[in-house]
């Protein structure tokens, strides 16, 4: 797939920093952002919200037959992650072996290259998720 | 909502498979001619054409294919319209044909479904099929179509204890049915061991959990009950039609393991026909992957949510079981020319209700078809009766 | 004379998780793994995964630096990313980082290239901008996914990793007492436009290049600030291999004890623009308030930037907010040479 630069660029902050929207009428949070709250419709009061890149694996698979541009990454893990703040996102799980991933595993966001538009086109970046580090693992 | 019932007076199919000699329009013309001959009508009797097609634009770089096929079939100047809803394109085309006849707008319409998938590389086919998912938030990230259904399968196994063997049982059953279908792509048996042992595509789904890449076309002729009497003494009637929509992205679904579009479409169709799941004798359901058949039979109410695995494993969906599911071999073994599938499902149920299904004939008075687009963003259900 | 009020408000690092052992590379090219390990004083190197590049390493390091500093990203007035492996030949890495840490849009940004010392050049630029009052905070990053030609001696060391330093005047975890640079035109190592791998002058990279510049910059700095080797608790020299920094230290009169905390090359390889900065980060991870650190970077082509840094009381409050160098080093997975060439695009695949 060769997605043109504008289509990616207009969602940069959602891809880089998990910007979604929160409906002030019903308190629901959506990611990716929507223009209307499907529950409140005309009564929607949406405002941008930066979601915390932490959550857990709701389900996962290991892609062994990859689409164009992902051939060098096989086998790679794709998952649906349920963010702590509610919304679910489809994401690649990195820094994790196929036999290590499991449902319920705590994960955290990491900035990675998502794909390239051919060898001379734009490079697209964004969030992926990796196994969460415990706070105690941060120190020396 | 009560609908004027609509008669199916003719059905036609091509062979399903890798049809190297046949072009997109060749396929439609062959299926269309078979349906018209079956109906006993003439081209000039046709008031309108509805064509289900998922992605001529990507598979053969042809848009505007309604004009192409009408022209090639010699049906000009009848209005020809293409309908697209990914893998549910065929089912939605049937629905548009039903609406056209039931409303009184047209007396006789042809509904076709066609897909020519083998003119491009299988990598390109993979890319094209994933356009049925959310391009920006699923496909863009490296997701594949088997991958999406694998996410469902993994979660289904987690929530309900569905086993790998139960998923494989869907493939085994559908291959056994396809063996008796001369139009099917795969006319051979597979075993549970073979399904489990075949190449892993997207864990936990193997190659034999997946429907194949298929060329093929299907066609039906619909008419008002009055008009139908001019051509046949034994029409099959479409008495219920339901369609529903859900989120395009799997991650936005309220429950990943439940197809709410299927449940809602089925509810509408059952209500319209005055039937319930217990009344259905034969069903063609959307088994693009083995897990999809479990979601289908659960959503259609043939068994409880989460019970699809054991229900299948104990043989309840086999020919002559509690309800015969995918007697044609289903998408899995008959083949899945995506835009044709929803129409081909109607062809199979009509043949079953007419008693013309040959070696795979079951005892059936009421049938159902169920066609899904993407991971469940669209579902179409039709109920057919003698 | 620059007022001595500029320093480090926070730093962050990122080292990819994949490692390849020296003997695995030697196995493929018929080298003697043990001899090479002894000769270069290197065990293994960090390798970027397929979806990691200078922009992702720089961004993760920058996010860690901001976490440690605890400042609003919008307060960052400049971002400079030093690297010899920017993902684009034309289009800045710094804009990607700026957007990813939400420092954009009211700020300035640019990419630097000066072989292995582009990151320290970025620090000096930020010192000037902050010191002059033009900006409140500047982010200086050195990051690389360095490549050596298959079979070349560089392949044993050319590694991936990076570090980011937030330069400011307030809330310093370390003061930069002074800096001193030496620059000459010395073609010891280069990569021509459009070429995938660098070339180097073999032994010419030693005395006329690395040692001449590292020694003269370090001596120049010490003379300028009136310090001697024994006045420093730690010393970090650019680490193209394990031998060069040790020889430079010995030559200058620094001891193994002073070098110990900042030597990383044996475990992660030469991270090029990240090398001296990761070494400094490793020292800052363990340094006590009041300790003094000497850092001298070297970039081929050639030049050296030398710094004298003094750790403040503040550092102990900020530790543990972001992963330490050792956190990244201990989280590792070994790959074989086949996986390495697949990930690093050294083999052609049908695309
Ligand atoms: Zn709302």
User: What are B51-72's pLDDT values in tens digits?
Assistant: 999 999 999 999 999 999 999 9
Q: Phi, psi at residue C99, to the nearest 5°? A: -70, -40
Whether the CB-CB separation of B358 and B210 falls below 8 Å is answered with: no
Q: Mean pLDDT score of chain C, rounded to an integer?
A: 95
All residues with CB under 5 Å from ion ligand 1 = A 23, 25-26, 37, 39-40
Task: Say if residue C194 is in the same domain as residue C138.
Answer: no
CA A97 to chain C, closest CA, distance in angstroms equals 10
Q: Which pLDDT score, from 0 to 100, does residue B234 have?
A: 85
Task: Say if residue C164 is in the same domain as residue C75.
Answer: yes
Nearest CA in chain B to A128: B141
Q: Give the tens place of pLDDT for each residue, B135-164.
A: 999 999 999 999 999 999 999 999 999 999
Question: Hey, which residues does B129 pair with through a beta bridge?
Answer: none
Per the structure block, which two tokens stand in for C134?
Answer: 């033009």
Check whether B1 has a pLDDT greater than 60: no
- B202, B249, B252: residue with CB nearest A63: B202
Check whether C251 has a pLDDT greater than 50: yes
Task: Say if residue C206 is in the same domain as residue C297.
Answer: yes
Across the range C66-93, mean pLDDT stands at 97
CA B148 to chain A, closest CA, distance in angstroms equals 8
> Cβ C99–A137 below 8 Å, yes or no?
no
Distance in Å, CA C269 to ligand 1 centroid: 52
Q: Give the tens place of pLDDT for each residue, B274-294.
A: 999 999 999 999 999 999 999
CA distance C285 to C295: 15
Q: Chains meeting B at 3+ CB pairs closer than 8 A?
A: A
Indicate the pLDDT class of residue A3, thresholds 50, 70 and 90. Answer: low
Q: Which pLDDT score, from 0 to 100, does residue A69 have?
A: 85
Across the range C250-255, mean pLDDT stands at 98
CA distance A66 to C342: 15
B288 is catalytic: no
Task: Say if residue C111 is in the same domain as residue C240.
Answer: no
How far is residue B81 CA from its own chain's centroid? 19
Across the range A56-79, mean pLDDT stands at 93
A136 in contact with B, Cβ within 8 Å: no
Active-site entry in B183, B336, B370, B382: B336
> Cβ A65–B202 below 8 Å, yes or no?
yes
Q: Which pLDDT score, from 0 to 100, does residue C217 have?
A: 98
Count structural domains, chain C. Answer: 2
C53 lies in a domain? yes
Its ipTM equals 0.96
Q: Which pLDDT score, from 0 to 100, does residue B69 have?
A: 94
C248 lies in a domain? yes
Task: Say if residue C156 is in the same domain as residue C215.
Answer: no
More confident residue, C163 or C4: C163
How far is residue A5 CA from its own chain's centroid? 19
Check whether C227 has a pLDDT greater than 80: yes
Q: Which pLDDT score, from 0 to 100, does residue C348 have?
A: 80
Task: Say if residue C330 is in the same domain as residue C276.
Answer: no
Task: Say if residue C291 is in the same domain as residue C339.
Answer: no
CA distance B102 to B6: 6
Strand, helix or coil for residue C21: strand
Please give the model's pTM, rounded to 2 decimal places: 0.96
Q: Which pLDDT score, from 0 to 100, does residue C5 have?
A: 84
Domains of chain B: 6-120+214-236 (3.40.47.10), 129-211+239-385 (3.40.47.10)
C351 lies in a domain? no
SS3 track for chain B:
CCCCCEEEEEEEECCCECCCCCCHHHHHHHHHHHHHHHHCCCHHHCCEEEEECCCHHHHCCCCCHHHHHHHHCCCCCCCEEEECECECHHHHHHHHHHHHHHCCCCCEEEEEEEECCCCCCHHHHHHHHHHHCCCCCCHHHCCCHHHHHHHHHHHHHHHHCCCHHHHHHHHHHHHHHHCCCCCCCCCCCCCHHHHHHCCEEECCEEHHHECCCCEEEEEEEEECHHHHCCCCCCCEEEEEEEEEECCCCHHHCCCCCCCHHHHHHHHHHHHHHCCCHHHCCEEECCCCEHHHHHHHHHHCCCCCCCCHHHHHHCCCCCCCCCCEECCCCHHHHHCCCHHHHHHHHHHHHHHHHHCCCHHHCCCCCEEEEEEEECCCCEEEEEEEEC
Domain range for C96 is 6-173+315-343
Rg of chain A on CA atoms, in Å: 17
Task: Say if residue C163 is in the same domain as residue C147.
Answer: yes
Q: Which pLDDT score, from 0 to 100, does residue A68 have?
A: 83
Assign domain A52-140 to a CATH class.
mainly beta
Whether the CB-CB separation of B266 and B299 falls below 8 Å is answered with: yes
C1 lies in a domain? no
C287 lies in a domain? yes
Indicate the pLDDT class of residue A2, thresholds 50, 70 and 90. Answer: low
Check whether A139 has a pLDDT greater than 80: no
- CATH number for the domain that contains residue C220: 3.40.47.10
> Cβ B200–A64 below 8 Å, yes or no?
yes
- Start-to-end Cα distance in chain A: 43
Number of Cβ within 10 Å of residue C281's Cβ equals: 27
Check whether C351 has a pLDDT greater than 70: no
Q: Which pLDDT score, from 0 to 100, does residue B265 have?
A: 98
Q: Give the full edge-to-edge strand order of the sheet including B6-13.
A: B80-83, B48-52, B108-115, B216-223, B6-13, B236-245, B378-385, B366-373, B282-284, B324-325
Ranking B1-5, B191-195, B358-362, C153-157 by mean pLDDT, the lowest is B1-5
C293 lies in a domain? yes
Q: Mean pLDDT score of chain A, rounded to an integer?
A: 93
Q: Which pLDDT score, from 0 to 100, does residue C345 have?
A: 86
Domain definitions of chain A by residue range: 18-51, 52-140
C150 lies in a domain? yes
Mutation site for A-interface testing, chosen from C47, C51, C66, C95 by largest number of A Cβ within 10 Å: C51
- Give the A window 102-121 contacts with B, CB below 8 Å: 103, 114-115
Give C-chain residues touching A125 at CB under 8 angstroms.
55-56, 59, 96, 100
Task: Say if residue C273 is in the same domain as residue C169.
Answer: no
Task: Say if residue C147 is in the same domain as residue C200.
Answer: no
Q: Which pLDDT score, from 0 to 100, does residue C15 have?
A: 98
Task: Say if residue C61 is in the same domain as residue C136.
Answer: yes
Check whether C1 has a pLDDT greater than 50: no
> Cβ C322–A138 below 8 Å, yes or no?
yes
Distance in Å, CA A43 to ligand 1 centroid: 7
Task: Say if residue C136 is in the same domain as residue C213.
Answer: no
* Cα atoms in the 13 Å half-sphere on the side-chain side of C292: 12
CA A131 to chain B, closest CA, distance in angstroms equals 18
Distance in Å, CA A24 to ligand 1 centroid: 7
Q: Give the tens place of pLDDT for each residue, B76-115.
A: 999 999 999 999 999 999 999 999 999 999 999 999 999 9
């Amino acid at each position: 797939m060769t997605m043109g630069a504008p289509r990616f660029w207009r969602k940069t902050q959602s891809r880089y920093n998990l910007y979604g929207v929160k409906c002030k009428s019903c308190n629901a949070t959506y990611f990716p952002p929507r223009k209307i709250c499907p529950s409140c419709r005309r009564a929607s009061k949406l405002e941008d919200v930066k979601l915390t890149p932490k959550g857990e694996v709701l389900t996962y698979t290991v892609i062994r037959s990859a689409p164009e541009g992902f051939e060098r990454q096989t086998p790679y893990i794709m998952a649906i992650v349920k963010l702590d703040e509610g919304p679910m996102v489809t994401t690649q799980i990195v820094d994790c072996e196929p036999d290590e991933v499991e449902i319920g595993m705590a994960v955290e966001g990491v900035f990675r290259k998502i794909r390239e538009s051919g060898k001379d086109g734009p490079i697209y970046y964004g969030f992926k998720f990796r196994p969460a580090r415990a706070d105690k693992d941060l120190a020396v | 909502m009560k609908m004027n019932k609509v008669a199916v007076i003719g059905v036609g199919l091509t062979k399903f498979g890798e049809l190297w000699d046949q072009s997109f329009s060749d396929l439609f013309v062959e299926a269309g001619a078979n349906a018209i001959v079956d109906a006993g009508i003439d081209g000039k009797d046709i008031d309108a054409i509805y064509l289900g097609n998922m992605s001529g634009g990507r598979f053969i770089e042809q848009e505007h294919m309604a004009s192409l096929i009408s022209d090639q079939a010699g049906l000009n100047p009848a209005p020809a319209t293409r309908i697209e809803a990914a893998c549910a394109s065929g089912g939605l085309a049937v629905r548009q044909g039903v609406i056209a006849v039931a409303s009184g707008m047209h007396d006789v319409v042809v509904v076709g479904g066609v897909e020519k998938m083998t003119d491009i590389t299988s990598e390109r086919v993979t890319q094209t099929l994933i356009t049925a998912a959310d391009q920006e938030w699923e496909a863009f990230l490296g997701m594949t179509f088997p991958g999406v259904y694998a996410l469902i399968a993994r979660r289904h196994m987690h929530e309900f204890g569905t086993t790998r063997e139960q998923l494989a049982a869907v493939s085994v059953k559908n291959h056994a049915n396809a063996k008796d279908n001369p139009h099917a792509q795969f006319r051979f048996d597979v075993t549970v061991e073979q399904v489990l042992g075949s190449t892993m595509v997207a864990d936990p789904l193997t190659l034999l959990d997946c429907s194949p890449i298929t060329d093929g076309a299907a066609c039906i002729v619909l008419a008002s009950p009055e008009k139908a009497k001019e051509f046949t003494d034994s029409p099959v009637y479409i008495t219920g039609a339901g369609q529903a929509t859900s989120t395009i992205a799997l991650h936005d679904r309220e429950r990943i393991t439940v197809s709410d579009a299927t449940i809602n479409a089925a509810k509408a169709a059952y209500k319209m026909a005055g039937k319930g799941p217990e009344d259905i004798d034969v069903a063609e359901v959307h088994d693009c992957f083995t897990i999809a058949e479990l979601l289908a039979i659960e959503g259609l109410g043939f068994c409880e949510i989460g019970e699809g695995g054991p229900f299948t494993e104990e043989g309840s969906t086999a020919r002559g079981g509690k309800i015969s599911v995918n007697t044609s071999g289903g998408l899995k073994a008959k083949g899945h020319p995506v835009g044709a599938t929803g129409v081909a499902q109607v062809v199979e149920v009509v043949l079953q209700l007419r008693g013309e299904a040959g070696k795979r004939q079951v005892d059936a008075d009421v049938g159902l078809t169920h066609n899904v687009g993407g991971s469940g963003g669209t579902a179409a259900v039709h109920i057919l009766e003698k | 004379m620059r007022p001595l009020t500029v320093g480090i408000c926070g730093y962050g690092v990122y080292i990819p998780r994949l490692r390849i052992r020296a003997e695995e590379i030697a196995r493929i090219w018929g080298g003697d793994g043990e001899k090479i390990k002894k000769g270069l004083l290197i065990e293994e190197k960090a390798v970027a995964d397929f979806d990691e590049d200078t922009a992702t390493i720089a961004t993760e390091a920058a996010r860690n630096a901001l976490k440690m500093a605890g400042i609003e990203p919008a307060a960052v007035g400049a971002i400079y990313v030093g690297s010899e492996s920017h993902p684009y030949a034309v289009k800045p890495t710094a804009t990607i980082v700026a957007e990813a840490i939400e420092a954009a849009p009211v700020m300035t940004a640019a990419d630097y290239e000066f072989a292995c010392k582009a990151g320290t050049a970025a620090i000096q630029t930020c010192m000037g901008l902050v010191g002059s009052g033009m900006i409140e905070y500047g982010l200086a990053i050195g990051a690389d996914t360095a490549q050596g030609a298959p079979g070349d001696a560089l392949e044993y060391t050319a590694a991936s990793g990076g570090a980011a330093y937030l330069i400011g005047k307030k809330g310093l975890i370390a003061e930069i007492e002074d800096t001193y640079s030496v620059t000459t035109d010395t073609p010891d190592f280069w990569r021509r436009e459009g070429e995938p791998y660098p070339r180097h002058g073999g032994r010419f990279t030693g005395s006329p290049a690395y040692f001449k510049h590292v020694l003269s910059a370090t001596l120049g700095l010490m003379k300028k600030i009136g310090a001697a080797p024994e006045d420093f608790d730690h010393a970090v020299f650019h680490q193209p291999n394990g031998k060069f920094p040790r020889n430079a230290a010995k030559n200058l009169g620094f001891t193994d004890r002073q070098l110990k905390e900042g030597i990383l090359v044996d475990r992660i390889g030469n991270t090029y623009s990240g090398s001296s900065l990761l070494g400094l980060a490793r020292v800052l991870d363990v340094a006590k308030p009041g300790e003094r650190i000497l850092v001298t970077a070297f970039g081929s082509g050639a030049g050296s930037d030398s710094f004298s840094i003094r750790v403040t009381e503040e550092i102990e409050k900020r530790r543990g907010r972001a992963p330490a160098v050792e956190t990244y080093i201990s989280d590792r997975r070994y790959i074989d040479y086949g996986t390495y060439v697949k990930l690093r695009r050294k083999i052609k695949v049908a695309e």
